[in-house]
Structure 1
Amino acid sequence: MLMRSRARRRSAPALPAAQHAGAEHPPLRVLLPRGLAALARESGIGAAIRHQEKAVRSLGHEVVTDPLGPFDVVHLNTPFPDTLLLALWARLRRRPTLVWAHSTEDDFRDSFPGSNRLAPLFRRWIALLYRRGDAVVTPSEYSRQLISAPKYGLRAPIRVLSNGVDTGFFRPDPTARQRLRDSLGLPPEATVVISVGMQLRRKGILDWVEVARRMPEVTFVWYGRTDPRLLTAEVERSLAGAPANALFPGYVQAEQLREAYCGADAFCFLTKEETEGIVLWEALACGVPALVRGIPLYREAMPDGVLTHQVAGDGPEFPGRAAARLRALLDGELEDLTAAGRRAAEGVDLEQVAKRLREIYRLAGVRPVRGVRSGA
């Protein structure tokens, strides 16, 4: 019965999306609920939610956070239990639901203790959530291919929309070099390589520490943290045994992160699985040379030598090969790709994301609803 109801609603003629305030239609009230989403504040999903808020406001729409108040469309982003309740509430209110597919079974693996055993169950759970959407939004063509697999059972349209990057905020700043070294207590000539993310095996932290061990003349700085209760034993051992040239300042605010990107000599992102990777876009926007692991997403979307330099593979030989490639990058032996990286980041600037979001609203039939009948 619910499936037939959903099908009827999706087959209705698309209504025009709201435009800027003062246009023919009033602005949309876009529900971006807080709830358990606050738990994801320091993650990529938290950054994606903040980007959505900026994109929505740039279109002239209003961001609302109270699901008990009036709203015209809801954005759901997290894999937490309240997401299912919010989707059911939106259906009861007859409001369109857009579900962001940030997570997959693949990128849940190698994350937290027991995550590999729980991955199939996690996939069933997120598939249930994604099926609650009138449209599913995912950040890359690669992730669209993953969630299009029959095991997810999705029937709603799947739209690709980058999480984007604020290229007005994340931009090159040569003066940041000295400030970064001062903040770390390093001499002006120090070579600094950074990475950003939660401290997870999937994020490549084990290999990153081993690369740092092979390059004692370079200072490696990892920004970001994971609740110690959620660290796997192997990550705990790696952090405890990290060499002296590996620093872990923890989670920092966006301004400090921008200083790090702009002041670093290289960004070394050895993640093993991503649906997009906002931090890579931030690094490219700031004009820092980037070395990444050649995972399928990056091999397809940005082949080696186009926007980033890449090191393929895994296993015990990987850190040595990554260290050699990184050393060549730092020594200027590899092509300078920073201008191309900046241009690519501008292509997913939040202004461009907002334009594509407006089209997704149109395709989903999102419209402002006012009056007594709507309960507004």
Structure 2
Amino acid sequence: MKNRAVARPHGPGARLQRRIEQLARRVRTGHRASGQKTAGIAEDSDHAEQQLRVLLPRGLARLATQSGIGAAIRHQEEVVRSLGHEVVTNPLRRFDIVHLNTPFPDTPLFAAWARLRRRPVLVWAHSTEDDFRDSFPGSNTLAPTFRRWIAFLYRRGDAVVTPSEYSRDLVSAPKYGITAPIHVLSNGVDTTFFQPDPGARARLRTSLGLEPGAKVVLSVGMQLVRKGILDWVEVARALPEVTFVWYGRTDERLLTADVRRALGSAPPNALFPGYITPVQLREAYCGADAFCFLTKEETEGIVLWEALACGTPALVRAIPLYRDRMPDGVLTHQVAGDGPGFAADAAARLSALLDGELEDLTSAGRRAAEGVDLSQVAQQLQEIYRATGVLAPAPQAD
């Protein structure tokens, strides 16, 4: 955040408000650059655009605050406000459109309530049958049932929003039965918050109690087989001279037996600090030598965009999403496979990255992250509102 010469309110609420104001300025700038009027903000009395009341109900979504879905909801709140619209969290208040994000039992109730009020429903397809697998005890057995459930939820929408072309292809399959329009909209990243900071290197090592020259590799996410934690621990075991740090955790009651064993037998150079604040996470990205993200399945992966925005060299598993969207050697370095030899291959590739033997892709990664900045996401969301009919079509240029 930029320092101000004048006194400003402090605390989480004030910081969020400053971020929203900053994002709104970026959205306005983007519209002016393209010759368009700013959505939701009157530049003169003849061109004022409708301000929407957008319902993002809290409900059981509170259970997802520490997940990727929770981050996506927070991003939606920011971009909605930056467009000049109002965020409504109480479904009993007036609203013009509803965003539904979670696969929880209250989601169809909110959809039914919106239909009763004759308000359009946008359903975000964050989850798929594929990324439910290898998550929690019994998830592989329950995956087909989970798919039928989320398909039912997605069909409640007047439109479906999903974060990547890859995930759109998945939920477009006949087994999901979706007939409504499916829009692709990145969950986005705040590139004014997540940005390179060379000074973070020393601060990160001090906070971890390491020598100034220590090599640090990090990953972020829930401790799930799907997130690649089993291979990640083995890569750490193969590189004892490197400190590996995994930020994030999973309730112990939800850990699978193999994840419990991996955590219990992890080498001493593998650290698990748990959840940290966004500022601490930014410090970690900026101060690390590499981001090692060995996830087996994603619909987007906000944490990768955060790492790229911070200029962190990234090594990822070559899953279809990343292999197709960002081929090896373009934005990230990648390791293919998922067998007994994968950890050894990943360790060798990571070692080469840390030793400077692989091409520096950080500038390209930063530019790509700027392409999914929240200001860009805001403008695309406004177009989805128009396509849904809740906003009038944009006025034609003279």
Q: TM-score range by the shorter chain?
A: over 0.9
1:178-193 equivalence runs, <5 A: 178-193=202-217
Partner of 1:372: none
Structure-1 residue corresponding to 2:160:
136
Q: CA RMSD in A?
A: 1.2
Runs of 4+ in 1 over 3 A off after TM superposition: 21-26
State how far apart, in whole Å, the 1-side matches of 2:367 and 2:111 are.
37
Provide the rounded CA distance (Å) in 1 between the counterparts of 2:362 and 2:206: 24
Give the match for residue 82 of structure 2. 58
For each residue in 1:261-304, what CA deviation from the matched residue of structure 2 results, as whole angstroms up to 9, or x when unmatched?
00000000000000000000000000010000000000000000
Which of these residues, 289, 297, 321, is aligned with residue 273 of structure 1?
297
Q: Could you say which residue in structure 2 is the equivalent of 1:19?
A: 39
What is the match of residue 224 of structure 1?
A: 248
The residue aligned with 1:348 is 372
Deviation at 1:25, TM superposition (A): 4.0
In 1, Cα distance between equivalents of 2:58 and 2:267? 39
What amino acid does structure 1 have at the position aligned with 2:344? G
1:36 aligned to 2:60?
yes
Q: Does 1:172 align with 2:196?
A: yes
The alpha carbon displacement at 1:27 in A equals 1.0
Q: Partners of 1:185 and 1:280 in 2: how far apart?
A: 26
Cα displacement (A) at 1:24: 3.5
1:236 counterpart residue number:
260
C-alpha offsets along residues 298-353 of structure 1, whole Å, 9 cap, x if unaligned?
A: 00000000000000001110000000000000000000000000000000000000
Conserved 8 A contact 1:171-1:286: yes
Matched AA of 1:246: A
* Structure 1 gap segments, 5+ residues each: 1-16, 369-376
* CA distance in structure 1 between the aligned counterparts of 2:197 and 2:289, rounded to whole angstroms: 13
Q: Does 1:310 align with 2:316?
A: no
Structure 1 vs Structure 2: percent identity of aligned residues? 79
The alignment partner of 1:360 has SS state of: helix
Partner of 2:95: 71
- SS of equivalent residue, structure 2 residue 226: helix
In 1: Cα distance, 2:38 partner to 2:383 partner:
10
Q: CA deviation at 1:19?
A: 3.1
Superposition TM-score, scaled by structure 1 size: 0.92
Offset at residue 253 of structure 1 (A): 1.2
Counterpart of 2:70 (choices 46, 54, 63) is 46
Mapped contact 2:50–2:391 kept (Cα < 8 A)? no
Task: Say whether 1:122 aligns with 2:120.
Answer: no
Paired with 2:333 and 2:38, the residues of 1 have a C-alpha distance of 42
- Specify which of 200, 205, 210 is matched with residue 234 of structure 2: 210
What displacement does 1:20 show? Answer: 1.6
> CA offsets per residue over residues 204-261 of structure 1, 9 Å max, x none?
0000000000000000000001111100011011001000000000011110100000
Q: Which has the higher contact order (CA 8 A, sep 6+)?
A: 1
Alignment pair present for 1:334 and 2:358: yes
CA distance in 2: counterparts of 1:63 and 1:21, whole angstroms: 15
Question: Residue 289 in 1 paired to residue 309 in 2?
Answer: no
Decide whether the 8 Å contact of 2:248 with 2:275 is kept in 1: yes
Deviation by residue 1:94-122 (Cα, 9 ceiling, x = unmatched): 00100000000000000000000000000
The equivalent of 2:172 in structure 1 is 148
- 1:82 aligned onto 2:106: yes
Number of positions where the alignment pairs a residue of Structure 1 with one of Structure 2: 352
**Partner Cα separation in structure 2 for residue 120 and residue 252 of structure 1:** 34
